[in-house]
Amino acid sequence: MLMMLAHYPRAGSFRSSAAFCGYSVGVTRGLVTTLRSMNSQQEFVLRSIEERGIRFVRLWFTDILGYLKSVAVAPAELESAFEEGIGFDGSAIEGFSRVSEADTIAMPDPSTFQLLPFDDDDSPLQSARMFCDIMNPDGHPSYSDPRQVLRRQINQAADEGFSCSVSPEIEFYLVQSLSTDGRPPIPTDNGGYFDQASRNDAPLFRREAMLALERMGIPVEFSHHETAPGQQEIDLRHADALTMADSIMTFRYVMKQVALRNGVAATFMPKPFRDFAGSAMHTHMSLFEGDMNAFHDPDDEFSLSKTAKQFIAGILEHANEISAITNQWTNSYKRILFGNEAPTAATWGVSNRSALVRVPTYRLTKEDSRRVEVRSPDSACNPYLALAVLLGAGLKGIKEGYELPDPAEDDIAQLTRRERRAMGYRDLPISLDHALRSMEQSEFVADILGEHVFEYFLRNKWREWHEYQEQITPWELSSNLDY
């Protein structure tokens, strides 16, 4: 899919420091530089709430695994929420804090204010949402907040003179119900790639979904039916990395709500069907220096600058270490091993959809279009952490001058493991177990996530893997019970 990337600065976000231990420096710097704009944004939010008669404001944030959390406040409480935040028990949120450190504060970010699109303008129950930054009582950003993890990498990029633009292609399935008692779900249609499905339980879904996203200020570039029955793809227009992570979280919420209103359900499970393709989140990325695309070089064969090649090399070098973040579920590796065009080795290629990193060749001479497409993330990742490790890996490649190997021209997925190794390709993890083993040895990932997120994520995912291993599956019983 063609993704036109350009740089759009994010208004209203403040910066923390690049280093895990330097939160207070970054917060002070950010508050000094954006206080005036934040105040004007707060005034806009309060005025909009009064003029539109909004009755509820939902404050959103995300736990370490990427689950959306929400607390609703009355408009009368919002002004004090801007000044003091909303206190809550952080120990009740997955991975946020210990009981002895339970007091946690959600600070609304007024730049993320949007009306929720599911109420009529004259509804007496109209509501809006804002994302929050999670703070400690001493005013420092919480080390558990995924938004802060991504913000640190954005600040690291800024310190190197870059801003990051992101555009994802988000795939998911529409199914008749999520209540299947452990059996495979039933797709809502029988369509294929770009099809107008001949049987469709929600024929207006994509149109309603796009309108809902547009009403929330999330512009859409494309939408179409994907390769499998019930599978959809909606591609979001480029934005800065933090805005895009917020948009992805909003996207998942909106898709589930629109599906429910159509009498069906949306699932972002990486691979819910054995015989159908998995759901990816192919992620297009560019770095900009001011208004100049740092990935563009008109004199290169593929219009790729040295910066872009080093960025790709960084992602390839650290691909195994970050795999548990971009593909965080046991089910994620069913997609990688058995999904269509899912990457199985740390390779890059020009227009090669079997490579981990693809360089699109649409409009090679157009500077704003020069980007790289990372094909490993699935639609069930935590977007804040996934974008943080991808950006961090690329920046490390640039900073340390990584060399990019020759591009892969083969269909990597069709090669055997022996053939891949003979050709010098390094396999990606084939299970969550393998991915976690690579991650827990990585100082690089620990630095990006911070000690708390790093340790909690590993503990949680090792528990998930062990629970998965404990199962006695129907396949085992049918294959081994009569031995």
Split at pLDDT 50, 70, 90, the class of 38 is: low
pLDDT at residue number 142: 87
Within 8 A by CB and 6+ apart from 266, the residues are 172, 173, 174, 175, 255, 256, 258, 259
DSSP string, 69-90: EEEEE-GGGHHHHHHH-EEEEG
Split at pLDDT 50, 70, 90, the class of 98 is: very low
Give the three-class secondary structure for 419. Answer: helix
pLDDT at residue number 93: 61
**Is residue 115's pLDDT more than 50?**
yes
Q: Which of 83-92, 250-259, 414-423 has the lowest mean pLDDT?
A: 83-92
User: 196 or 87, which is more confident?
Assistant: 87
**Is residue 408's pLDDT more than 60?**
yes
Within 8 A by CB and 6+ apart from 236, the residues are 167, 168, 170, 213, 218, 219, 220, 221, 244, 247, 248, 251
Q: Which of 9-18, 208-217, 357-366, 447-456 has the lowest mean pLDDT?
A: 9-18
**78-81: which pairs have CB atoms within 8 A and are 24 or more residues apart?**
78/45, 78/46, 78/49, 78/108, 79/42, 79/46, 81/107, 81/108
Helices 451-470, 319-326: inter-axial angle, 10-degree rounding: 70
Split at pLDDT 50, 70, 90, the class of 353 is: confident
Provide mean pLDDT across the span 389-403: 98
Could you count the other beta carbons within 10 Å of the beta carbon of residue 185?
19
pLDDT at residue number 4: 35
Of 116-130, 402-416, 446-460, which one has max mean pLDDT?
446-460
Could you count the other beta carbons within 10 Å of the beta carbon of residue 244?
27
pLDDT at residue number 194: 63
DSSP state of 184: P
Provide mean pLDDT across the span 379-402: 98
Instruction: Give residue 450's Cα distance to chain centre.
Output: 18
Provide mean pLDDT across the span 210-231: 92
Of 111-120, 154-163, 362-371, 420-429, which one has max mean pLDDT?
154-163
Split at pLDDT 50, 70, 90, the class of 351 is: confident
Split at pLDDT 50, 70, 90, the class of 122 is: low
pLDDT at residue number 139: 82
pLDDT at residue number 362: 73
**Is residue 26's pLDDT more than 50?**
no
pLDDT digits (tens, 9 = 90+) for 221-240: 988 888 899 999 999 999 99
Tokens representing 62 are 């995300």
Residue extent(s) of CATH 3.10.20.70 domains in the chain: 20-143
Split at pLDDT 50, 70, 90, the class of 372 is: very high
Look up residue 136 and give its amino acid.
N
**Is residue 473's pLDDT more than 50?**
yes
**Is residue 197's pLDDT more than 70?**
no
Split at pLDDT 50, 70, 90, the class of 102 is: low
CATH class entry, domain 155-478: alpha beta
Within 8 A by CB and 6+ apart from 307, the residues are 287, 294, 295, 398
pLDDT digits (tens, 9 = 90+) for 43-85: 999 999 999 889 899 999 999 999 999 989 999 899 889 988 8
pLDDT digits (tens, 9 = 90+) for 280-334: 999 999 999 999 999 999 999 889 999 999 999 999 999 999 999 999 999 999 9
Name the binding residues for L-glutamate.
335, 341, 353, 375
pLDDT at residue number 129: 95
Residue extent(s) of CATH 3.30.590.10 domains in the chain: 155-478
Distance separating alpha carbons of residues 343 and 335, to the nearest angstrom: 9
């396949």: which residue's tokens?
475
Provide mean pLDDT across the span 415-441: 91
% of the chain surpassing 70 pLDDT: 86
Angle at 249 between CA 180 and CA 359, to 5 degrees: 100
pLDDT at residue number 10: 37
Provide mean pLDDT across the span 351-365: 83
DSSP state of 142: P
Name the binding residues.
169, 171, 221, 226, 233, 282, 284-286, 335, 341, 353, 373, 375
Name the binding residues for Mg(2+).
169, 171, 226, 233, 282, 373
**Is residue 435's pLDDT more than 50?**
yes
3.40.50.1820, 3.10.20.70, 3.30.565.10, 3.30.70.270: CATH of 20-143: 3.10.20.70
**Is residue 25's pLDDT more than 70?**
no
Name the binding residues for ATP.
221, 284-286, 353
pLDDT at residue number 218: 96
Tokens representing 184 are 């495979």
**Is residue 90's pLDDT more than 70?**
no
**Is residue 185's pLDDT more than 60?**
yes
Q: In the predicted model, what is the mean pLDDT of the chain?
A: 87
Split at pLDDT 50, 70, 90, the class of 173 is: very high
Q: Which of 7-11, 292-296, 429-433, 478-482 has the lowest mean pLDDT?
A: 7-11
**433-436: which pairs have CB atoms within 8 A and are 24 or more residues apart?**
433/465, 434/320, 435/320, 435/323, 435/324, 435/327, 435/333, 436/324, 436/461, 436/462, 436/465
Q: Could you tell me the end-to-end alpha-carbon distance of the chain, in angstroms, rounded to an integer? A: 50
Report CA torsion sign: 123, 125, 128, 129.
Answer: negative
